[in-house]
Structure 1
């Protein structure tokens, strides 16, 4: 095991969450403009800070495990960085609370619904205990023996990311649909009478975002195919038992999106770019190159924004 370094820690806990959050900045800004014709700081802040907190907390836990496996001297050297990371996450949590307080109550509910799976992504959940708590909460009669009889697997914890084939789909729904509902609930406007922002429509943006993020997540699973197979993580490439088959599926999906939204050159360009990355990137590609896949949507939305600002549309 390689010795932990400061650059690795900072990159994992601080820089990577920011890189991921940049996708939320771009997408939530586009949706805000589509719905209201302006950029509203509240939903943008909510989406960005949720991304940073979810990814940052997950990576911080990983770093605690990795660094904790070394001796006390190494751990002592990283204590200031752990403090810095917690301050960074606390600052984002404060911004999140401020944005939620300035938004309608529905926004808090929507945010909780879509971010809960992200925060509990790798957390073992005792469904039997959760069910018992819920039943007590609603003052219903709880029969322990009946639950044990009907739930022979009740002692086995439930982990969201271990649901067969659903890891990427969950991620796509959270990032795509979740972002829309957060923005929509914060703006409190009817999306059916939304601002006219050709060539974009809200429905196609939601579909494109969900599919794009799902495909990106599957691409990272293709990269980690052998590790996931050994660890028994039921990702889509593992279920298909072939990275090549997975690449074909991704190509077909992106081609379908491209054909469905042929009138929008930015979606077409993004899909073509994503298809190229499907066949270029592989298990031997540096992880940093997969950020191109992560931002295959953001790049083209930013391109649209630049052309719009320069009156080139």
Structure 2
């Protein structure tokens, strides 16, 4: 469940106060403004075209043969309200239609695989105004554990090694998953782990253009306080892990703050009541970020 740093820091924007009006509107800057306007026009056109295509897609009824897979393979579905179920079905259809699905090592991708993965991926974005995965292009599925070549710098020497993976997320995609692991955790024997939620949480982490366990917090009222509280809870897990104290958040979350966010997100959706009792601060941070209350859903259903 490794992640890759595929991008650098954002460059800061320069304000107009450094430039005289005449200088700012030189030919060079005019050309730059024209290019910027062209890019903006392209984004507006693409957004219009995408929304039109989605409206056409959602005008058709949800496929009858998809519903059993959705209900059986995504156990969260039954705890959602009617409006949330409708939103999830719509997002599943959009996600399945817009992403490129590729089977690896001879695997033939089926509709059941697409529905199972899509349902858990869009579950994370159910509280957001819209589906948060527009930049993701592809989902790659292996039949089982897959191997990736890793490079590490040690004592001035670059060492390469093959490492097994169950899932992997890259900035702007692809997301790579082991179907055996997806089926085992989501369908056959749910145990609080969920590789789909884990990897798509990594994608959400990358929305602030860094892999640091802090996603874009546009919808959080006190973003600075959120960051401080979440960092404190990460440090607490690291200390607990060192002395062998177990938590509802797996020790793998102590590896880094990026992994802490991903593993905590698994617990938030898969073991919400336990997380709220064991790590109430973490639960509240994730509740305010995801704009969802999974523990409340479980309590209501019971």
Asked if TM exceeds 0.5, the reply is no
- With structure 2 as the length reference, what TM-score do the two structures score? 0.29
Taking structure 1 as the reference length, the TM-score comes to 0.28
Larger fraction in strand: 2
Give the number of the structure whose residues are more often helix, by fraction. 1
